[in-house]
Structure 1
Amino acid sequence: MAVSARALPAGVLAWSCVGLCAAVAGQEQAQFSTNADLVVLHVNVKNSHGAYVTDLRQSAFAVFEDGRPQTIRFFAQEDAPVTMGLLVDSSASMYANRDDVMAAASAFTAAGNPRDELFALVFNERVRPALPAAAAFTSDREFFRYALARIFVPSGRTALFDAVSAGLDYLRRGRYERRDLVLISDGGDNASRIAFNDVIAKTQASSALIYTVAPPGPIGRDGNPKLLERLARATGGEAFAPKDERRIAETLIHIAQDVRQTYTLGYVSTNTARDGAFRQVRVVAEAPDRRPLVIRTRDGYRAGVAPATEPAPATVSVTSVSRALDVHVEPVAPSVPAYRIVVTNRSTRALIALQYEASRGATRIVGGRRKTERNEPIAPPGRQYVFEIQPGSAIDRLAITALLWEDGAIEGDGALAADERVLDIGKAVQLRRVLKLLHEFDDRSGEPAVHAFRARATLLPLTGEVLYADASRTGMQQVKDALMKDLDLFEHAPSVRPTVAFATWIADTTAAYEEWLARVAAR
């Protein structure tokens, strides 16, 4: 059964092996229970010729933490399914490599375990998921390829560190115990908000392996291969720099095979301190015939931190810029700093968006905005809107600092409404383009019509004679992304949508996007 690590980092899991030691041959997935802090290591073993060694027993391995021997409590060697994320650099420097990367991605998914759970994030100055929210992970290779192809359009700058951080967060939502990332980029970064050292610390608190691939050619001029090597080495993955475009696919196939040739070892550290310190790990192995072996695993992990002794505030006070809202805050669980926010709209108007800030004493802990993707109300009149926050530490005050209503009225911080209105300028332009395209296909059906529509939709521009061109482009991109996700669901995800004819989908989508445009215009 899958279990959560609660207050522990992902690299130190709250597991112990049922039956203590070896996984039963042929079992699909190791079973765990939550009564010990198990450090999990994924280990690859090769001989001196570079061939995988997959016939070692538990007794062949020894694990050392900060030089001290540890007792292996769990051992397995099986081709179990994994949660796998592909992080693809979509900045302008990737333009020449796009077709080769797409071919490599297809080869990579084909070479993996058919039951692997896949997702992809593409990134330039912002990070975007390739798959729609309704199907955030998939084992359908064709759906995965289509989703990646339609969103992988190189342009802009590079927020590599942000992408790795987002990928690690995404992995936590996966259903398999092993979770890895493959990063395709030159290693350059000129747009991230998170620092590289913070990313390294985050990887050390995760059990994920990260493989990096730096494509050849012009992309390498502004790259940072040493950074990629450090990222891979810290996690037990590998860094690759194929010499020509044709070898990108070979490299990704090798990675897929590497994932399937892994030993999993677990031990309970003899160091019981919960101090958040980095602990160095070394694994050695000896073959029965004493032949030389090459071992690869992560170089260590970051220990968990003991819960703060300071008691959490008994209650959370609430303030709001509007008396039209009733706001209640309740803890999700007694020992976890996570909170459920219940907002009741007492107004006769629909609430479109809100902005909040959570703090403890005079220290701001976290803040953010809540809204829907397509300008729909988050709380119609008389209805509730519920969301959760995980601020990382206890809070004693929650403030609703800004509101945006369906008629365009604002309360509180005007920046919320200003930002939304700039986005709406771009959305309105793109929605009219989308509706024009939909009307051109309202009497067409069949597979050729679907392919023709996809080709036309892919070419929708992200420019126009509009105010605030850069910010408005984000609104245009949001509409285009929404259309492509709707089309992906129609074509490739029948499990999450009803089976309908293309002409029916066109009619339904036209009606939905006309309503969306009306909501934008009303503000």
Structure 2
Amino acid sequence: MVAVAASIVTVSAIAQQPPTFKSGTQVVSLFVTVADAQKRLVPDLTKDDFEVFDNEKPQTITYFDNSVHPITVVVMLDTSGSMTLTIDLLKKAAEQFLIRLLPDDKAKVGAFNDKVQISAHFTNNRDELVGAAKDLDYGNGTRLWDAVGMSLDELKGIEGRRVVLVFTDGDDTESKTSLGTVIDRARAEEVMIYAIGLESNYFNGQRMVRSKPDRGLRKIADETGGGYFELEKTADLAPTFTRVAQELHSQYVIGFTPTQLDGRVHKLAVKMKQAGMTPRARRSYVAAADKITVSAR
């Protein structure tokens, strides 16, 4: 799988040890995870393995880095009534993601049902994060898009890579925020969203029913450059949360200098020159010069 996020940033924000650029250089950066035909992550690629297109026009890659970059992430879990039979498995699966955070990563943990709760502060203390996951509360409805919107609120003003990891087993039922609104926000605010959906069996008060995850999950993941995983078995929960952690710590950073900052949404595409590798790229970015302040170098 490949996950790609794009943003217009100062060069100094893309890497801890950036190369030398001219004063005032702007770069569209993309975080790329590459896997082979067997879905194994592929290390040791070079700049020449990638092609990048902006509105279908090929771009010259002016920046490339394959070191690990810290993330700030909000992990948001569905704890509505349909999750009653699998909530303990979900919390243990989420732990597999949290314990794989690196020392420079930071996270918050939250839950959504007919309300939305998020832990008080970002931390790199994995024990604290695991404890917060265990303490998440139950509820009834599913405020999925409200939860994603509140996660974006929590990430405002934070520098570096920002990620939302959201899990649900059903459709949004009570949000005031729409899918389209959170997609637009995530694109404009340059946040990558990973989504995990599960088909879940639960008792609806009359009989056992099987839920299907909201179809908007795939759309928001694709648009923002995150991965989408749809599961049929609870046994796949822990391996999938583990996979997300591995992807986020195995991403290449590539960048190009935009030729037109017209304030519009531009289509993005990443392609691999080498056969047998499948990129999945963020599909768009906002080409707005006023999104950042470029520092002189």
TM-score (norm 2): 0.85
For residue 215 of structure 1, the aligned residue among 184, 198, 204 is: 198
Taking structure 1 as reference, are residues 37 and 112 closer, same or farther at Cα in structure 2, changes over 3 Å only? Answer: same
**Ranges in structure 1 where 5+ consecutive residues have no aligned partner:** 1-9, 308-334, 336-523
Which residue of 274, 278, 283 maps to 2:270?
283
Shift of 1:30: 4.7
CA displacement 1:463-482 (0-9 Å, x = unmatched) = xxxxxxxxxxxxxxxxxxxx
Question: Which residue is 2:206 aligned to?
Answer: none
Residue 182 of structure 2 is matched in structure 1 by: 199
Percent identity over the alignment is: 27
Counterpart residue number, 1:261: 250
- State which of 234, 250, 268 in structure 1 corresponds to 2:239: 250
Choose the corresponding residue for 2:126, options 138, 141, 154. Answer: 141
Report the equivalent of 2:7.
12
- 1:76, distance to aligned residue in structure 2 (A): 1.1
Match of 1:266, as an amino acid? G
**CA-atom RMSD in angstroms:** 2.7
| Correspondence for 1:169 | 153
Distance 2:116 2:19 in 1: 34
| C-alpha distance in structure 1 between counterparts of 2:288 and 2:179, whole Å | 21
The aligned amino acid for 1:147 is A
- 2:148 paired with 1:153: no
Displacement of 1:242 in angstroms is 2.3
Q: CA deviation at 1:59?
A: 2.3
Q: 1:50 aligns with which of 29, 39, 46?
A: 39
Q: Secondary structure at the match of 2:110?
A: strand
Q: Distance in 1 between matches of 2:123 and 2:12?
A: 29
**Cross-structure match for 1:78:** 67
Deviation at residue 65 of structure 1 after TM alignment: 0.6
Q: Does the C-alpha gap of structure 1 residues 303 and 186 become closer, same or farther in structure 2, counting only changes over 3 Å? A: farther
Contact 2:260 2:287 in 1 (8 A): no
Give a deviation string over 1:117-153, Cα, whole Å, max 9, x none. Answer: 11112122332212x3xxx111111111112222x12
- 8 Å Cα contact 1:11/1:206 also seen in 2: no
Secondary structure of 1:64's counterpart equals: strand
Find the counterpart in structure 2 of residue 358 from structure 1: none
Partner of 1:493: none
Shift of residue 306, structure 1, vs aligned partner: 6.2
SS in 2 for 1:96: coil
SS at 2:190's partner residue?
Answer: coil
Q: Which residue of 2 aligns with 1:329?
A: none
2:265·2:287 contact (CA, 8 Å) conserved in 1?
yes
* Contact in 1 for aligned 2:193/2:227 (Cα 8 Å): yes
Q: 5 Å matches for 1:4-153?
A: 12-16=7-11, 30=18, 35-130=24-119, 132=120, 136-150=121-135, 152-153=136-137
**Distance in 2 (alpha carbons) for counterparts of 1:42 and 1:12:** 9
The answer on whether the counterparts of 1:14 and 1:37 sit within 8 Å (CA) in structure 2 is yes
Aligned length: 281
Matching residue of 1:347: none
Give, in angstroms, the shift of residue 215 of structure 1.
2.8
**Which deviations, in whole Å up to 9, do the C-alpha atoms of 1:392-450 show, x marking residues without a partner?**
xxxxxxxxxxxxxxxxxxxxxxxxxxxxxxxxxxxxxxxxxxxxxxxxxxxxxxxxxxx
Shift of 1:222: 4.6
- Asked if 1:189 is matched to 2:172, the reply is yes
Distance, in Å, in 2 between the alignment partners of 1:42 and 1:165 is: 22
Q: Which amino acid aligns with 2:48?
A: S
Secondary structure of 1:294's partner? coil
Does structure 1 retain, via aligned residues, the 8 Å contact 2:34–2:42?
A: yes
Q: Deviations for 1:365-417, whole angstroms, at most 9, x for unmatched residues?
A: xxxxxxxxxxxxxxxxxxxxxxxxxxxxxxxxxxxxxxxxxxxxxxxxxxxxx
Alpha-carbon shift at residue 50 of structure 1 (Å): 1.9
Change (3 A) 1:12 1:250: closer
Q: Is the CA contact 2:199–2:210 (under 8 Å) kept in the aligned structure 1?
A: no
State the SS of the aligned residue for 2:166: strand
Contact 2:195 2:228 in 1 (8 A): yes
Deviates further, 210-219 or 231-240: 210-219
2:257 and 2:153 mapped to 1: Cα distance?
A: 25
Are residues 1:179 and 2:162 paired? yes
Select which of 251, 269, 280 maps to 1:296: 280
Confirm whether residue 232 of structure 1 aligns to residue 216 of structure 2: no
Q: Distance in 2 between matches of 1:262 and 1:112?
A: 14
Q: Is the 8 A contact 2:98 2:126 kept in 1?
A: yes
Q: 5+ residue gaps in structure 2?
A: 203-208
- Mapped to 2, the partners of 1:191 and 1:246 lie a distance apart of 29
Structure 1 pair 169–75 and aligned structure 2 pair: CA distance change class (3 A): farther
AA paired with 1:172?
K
- What is residue 261 of structure 2 aligned with on the other side? 272
CA distance in 2, matches of 1:32, 1:109: 35
Q: CA deviation at 1:51?
A: 1.8
Instruction: Please list the CA deviations of residues 33-74 of structure 1 after superposition, one character each: whole Å capped at 9, or x if unmatched.
Output: 982432221111122222222111112222111111222222
| Structure 2 SS opposite 1:108 | helix
Q: Pick 1 or 2: higher relative contact order, CA cutoff 8 A, min separation 6.
A: 2
The structure carrying a bigger helix percent of its residues is 1
Query: Alignment partner of 2:254: what SS?
Result: strand
- Aligned equivalents of 1:213, 1:91: Cα separation in 2: 15
Q: Distance in 1 between matches of 2:126 and 2:43?
A: 27
